[in-house]
Amino acid sequence: MKNEKSTIHDIAAKLNITASTVSRALNNHPRISDETKRKVLKVAKQINYQPNHIASALRSGKSRLIGVLVPTANRSFFSSVIRGIEDLANSFNYQIIISQSYDEFEREVNNVEAFLNARVDGIIASIGKTTENFDHFQKVLQKGIPLVLFDRISNELDVSQVVLDDHLGAYLSVDHLIKNGCKKIVLFTSSQRINIYKERKRGYEDALADHQLDIDPDLIFYSNMQLEDGRRIATELLEKGVEFDGIFSASDYAIMGAMQVLKENGIQIPQQVKLAGFGNEPFTSFTEPAITTVDQKSIPMGKITAETFFDLLNKETSSELAKKTILKPELIIRGSSN
Amino acid sequence: MKNEKSTIHDIAAKLNITASTVSRALNNHPRISDETKRKVLKVAKQINYQPNHIASALRSGKSRLIGVLVPTANRSFFSSVIRGIEDLANSFNYQIIISQSYDEFEREVNNVEAFLNARVDGIIASIGKTTENFDHFQKVLQKGIPLVLFDRISNELDVSQVVLDDHLGAYLSVDHLIKNGCKKIVLFTSSQRINIYKERKRGYEDALADHQLDIDPDLIFYSNMQLEDGRRIATELLEKGVEFDGIFSASDYAIMGAMQVLKENGIQIPQQVKLAGFGNEPFTSFTEPAITTVDQKSIPMGKITAETFFDLLNKETSSELAKKTILKPELIIRGSSN
DNA sequence: TTATATTGCGCAACCGATTACACGAAACTT
DNA sequence: AAGTTTCGTGTAATCGGTTGCGCAATATAA
């Protein structure tokens, strides 16, 4: 039971042929006879041959590895997208290596660097919240390594990207709140440097405008939109006695926090205040009332992102034009607004 | 802005030295003069040198890659563990590559195979629910590749493992339910081939026994313990008119489903039925009432798993004895049982 | 039957770094 | 001052596949 390591040379020796023939046989090269292929496969199985992808990657320059960078895999949205990518990648005999930035800029840079060192054949990424500088991605592009961004993108990078129509998602949601009677809707959003939060804010504003409602800057709150942020802002709203009858949050977590505080203060939902979140996190259907939210189409997004990526990978031409795909979100109406 | 690829040979050429000297300089070899090191580093920076880990891995036999296999990264528990592993790994200059089995046996086998092909230096894994055959892990061991299991382990494999004291967690939880007045406690569990579910069942049984309560097989339900399973079983309980005043579930998801159904049927929680889950998923604190559950100590588990792994990795000796670490869980008492 | 194509495989360089071994020069011993 | 260490670097093999080129043998074409 020793460290059995077998190479194509071992196979070659047993068959009295050369390693190159074995290599070609294993790769199903057309110039190798069927009989030789059969023999090679047989011996390979017999001596428990395990291809060394490292050696192959070194020589061929192709690692068959795709780096997937997300803020955190621990989110239903990202994990669904990852699964979509993984499925297509595996079907093409590619492996993905997942790496998380935890929304920290330095980690993001390091992770991209690690991808480069690992000689990935391409990178699929969603940008972190704190990222303002894109040199690490520019470096990827300079090296001619295929890069596709999804969801959290940047207009500073001229690459293919797959996004949700965040503007529409927010618009539908706020429009729904207004139609259900809301007149003073609070907005929870985040850094306007992030495309998705900018778009969601635009959607909110446009929906208000289309219903001839004023946009009140005092009702707009910027934060990281974690649960605690939602709690804090809701507490502040109540303490200051701000008048409002609805909240649209660009994050399910923040609206969850706000709902907790409102309920703790005896405010009836949706009778007194209507709530809507964004992201369709599983827990939004567990709460009481369940939370109205916007589904981000994670499954199709993963699929399309992967397809876009492989298109790019297989395109000899350095692909003149970057392609942008925009998916339609779906408003999920639940008890918190209805 | 061409595909700039620079190697140690390029650095060597610029300095009129050999690639071996450059290699040594970059690796901070003691026999290289400080001046040469300085020069090498300078030129390396200047021509934007990027080490080729693939080449290095091939020659040295060390990829500095650790394969981390989990059922799904989309669970707060696993993602926390992963983060713990990642942090320690990075500090040792190792990269982790995450791979998900989605609890499917075939994927698990394929993923392990992929790790082997990628020539990872070691594997950290949590076994899938459907896995009954461990040949793929035996193969890893035979090759002398360090393997550490956490949480979902197997006694068939003689390797270091890090687990929660699941028996204790269940015991504490059921003991708590009984002390709060429960006499007929339903158990939700899963395949008894999985250590954690077996242990949790034992904990349930021991707690009942210690309080002189009978173990009623009709109150024990086996399932995958997803939300839907919880709903289904709860519905069945109600339809059949089974008498019960408490449910202990080995999964937070299943108890969530059960709680939904009970509430839909006007049953008061915790007055009529008390509930307790397992896992401390974030959503358990969002529900109404919040769900009593058992925290699995994911952060320490990640840290300890990684430490165990690196101990193993650095141990020349093929480490005579496998080490088993058992962590103490923490009962989180919330409204669903109190 | 001779010329041309195709088939099947070997030769050897190569990918980019690592490392055992060697060797001259400088430093140190006694 | 001759002998022994230490220092700093070069030489060349090596890791395990991949691949352009070449060539003999067989098949096809003219």
Say yes or no: A292 and A174 in one domain: yes
Do B288 and B188 reside in the same domain of the chain?
yes
Kindly state whether residue B333 falls inside one of the protein's structural domains. Answer: no
By the 8 A CB rule, do B67 and B118 touch? yes
- Asked whether residue B124 falls in the same domain as residue B145, the answer is yes
How long is the CA A51 to C1' C11 vector, in angstroms? 23
Percent pLDDT > 70 in chain A is 97
Kindly state whether residue A2 falls inside one of the protein's structural domains. Answer: no
Which residue would you say has higher pLDDT here, B45 or B288? B45
Residue B2 confidence class, pLDDT cut points 50, 70, 90? very low
In a domain, B56, yes or no: no
Percent of chain B's residues with pLDDT above 90 = 82
Tell me which residue in A3, A83, A287 faces B143 most closely, judged by beta carbons. A3
Q: Which residue of A has its CA nearest to B77?
A: A74
Question: Which chain A residue is nearest to residue B94, measuring alpha carbons?
Answer: A114
How close does chain B come to A65, measured CA to CA in Å? 9
A314: confidence class by pLDDT, cuts 50, 70, 90: confident
Contact predicate A294/A331, CB 8 Å: yes
Q: How many domains does chain B have?
A: 3
Average the pLDDT over B186-197 and give the result: 93
For the entire predicted model, the pTM comes to 0.89
Residues A254 and A200 in one domain: yes
B257: alpha, beta or left? (left if phi > 0; alpha if psi -120 to 50): alpha
Please check whether residue A184 touches B, CB under 8 A.
no
Q: Give chain B's mean pLDDT.
A: 93
For A255, the token pair is: 């609206």
Name the band, by pLDDT with cuts 50, 70 and 90, for residue A22. very high
CA distance A166 to A201: 9
pLDDT tier, B75 (very low <50, low <70, confident <90, very high otherwise): confident
Q: What's the pLDDT tens digit per position in A142-151?
A: 888 999 999 9
Rounded Cα distance, B73 and B252, in Å? 16
Tally Cβ neighbours within 10 Å of residue B316.
Answer: 5
**pLDDT tens per residue, range B193-217:** 889 999 999 999 999 999 999 999 9
A283 Cβ contact list (under 8 Å, min separation 6): A252, A256, B282, B283, B286
Contact B73 A65 (CB under 8 A): no
The reply to whether residue A287 touches residue B288, judged by beta carbons under 8 angstroms, is yes
- Token reading at A148: 């596709």
My answer on whether B229 and B255 are in the same domain is: yes
What pLDDT is stored for residue B316 in this prediction?
A: 56
Whether A104 maps to a domain, the answer reads yes
Residue B182: its pLDDT value, please? 97
Residue A1 lies in a domain: no
- Over residues A278-300, the mean pLDDT reads 93
Local confidence band at A124 (pLDDT 50, 70, 90 cut-offs): very high
A13: pLDDT strictly greater than 60: yes
Å between B254 CA and C17 C1'?
53
Q: What integer is the mean pLDDT of A179-197?
A: 94
List alpha helices for chain B, DSSP H.
8-15, 19-26, 34-46, 53-60, 76-91, 105-117, 135-142, 166-179, 195-210, 227-240, 252-264, 298-314
B318: confidence class by pLDDT, cuts 50, 70, 90: low
| pLDDT classification of A1: cutoffs 50, 70, 90 | very low
Inter-chain CB proximity A58 and B63 less than 8 Å:
no
User: Mean of the pLDDT values across residues A29-56?
Assistant: 95
- Same domain flag for A305 and A238: no
Name the nucleotide nearest A35; use CA and C1': C8
Inter-CA distances, B142 with B65, B116, B136, Å: 19, 12, 10
Q: Return the pLDDT at A2.
A: 43
pLDDT of residue A319: 55
Closest partner residue to A286 (CB to CB) among B54, B117, B287 is B287
Q: Separation of CA B20 and C1' C29 in angstroms? A: 32
Residue B132's domain spans which residues? 61-163+298-326
Do A131 and A280 lie in one domain? The reply is no
Domain annotation covers residue A336: no
**Average pLDDT estimate for A67-85:** 91
Whether residue A171 sits in one domain with residue A284: yes
Indicate the pLDDT class of residue A4, thresholds 50, 70 and 90.
low
**Which nucleotide in the DNA or RNA is closest to residue B27, CA to C1'?**
C18
Specify the CATH number for the domain of residue B90: 3.40.50.2300
Q: Is residue B173 part of a domain?
A: yes
Task: Check CB contact of B57 with chain A, cutoff 8 Å.
Answer: yes
Question: Do both A285 and A192 map to the same domain?
Answer: yes
Are residues A193 and A242 both part of a single domain? yes
Q: What is the pLDDT of residues B119-150, one digit of tens each?
A: 999 999 999 988 889 999 999 998 889 999 99
* pLDDT tens profile A211-257: 999 999 999 999 999 999 999 999 999 999 999 999 999 999 999 99
Task: Provide the pLDDT for residue A317.
Answer: 55
Do B307 and B268 lie in one domain? The reply is: no
Whether residue A95 sits in one domain with residue A83 = yes
**pLDDT given for residue B336 in this prediction:** 97
Average pLDDT over residues A180-204: 95
Residue B30 sits in a domain whose CATH number is 1.10.260.40
- What's the mean per-residue pLDDT of chain A? 93
Which nucleotides in chain C have some atom under 7 angstroms from a protein Cβ? 7-12, 14-20
When pLDDT is averaged across residues B315-330 and rounded to a whole number, the result is: 80
**Interfacial A residues in 101-160 facing B (CB < 8 Å):** 102, 110, 114, 116-119, 142-144
Would you state the pLDDT for residue B132? 86
Residue B54 with chain A: CB contacts under 8 Å: 54, 57-58, 63, 118-119
Residue B318 lies in a domain: yes
Residue B241 has φ and ψ, to the nearest 5°, of 65, 30
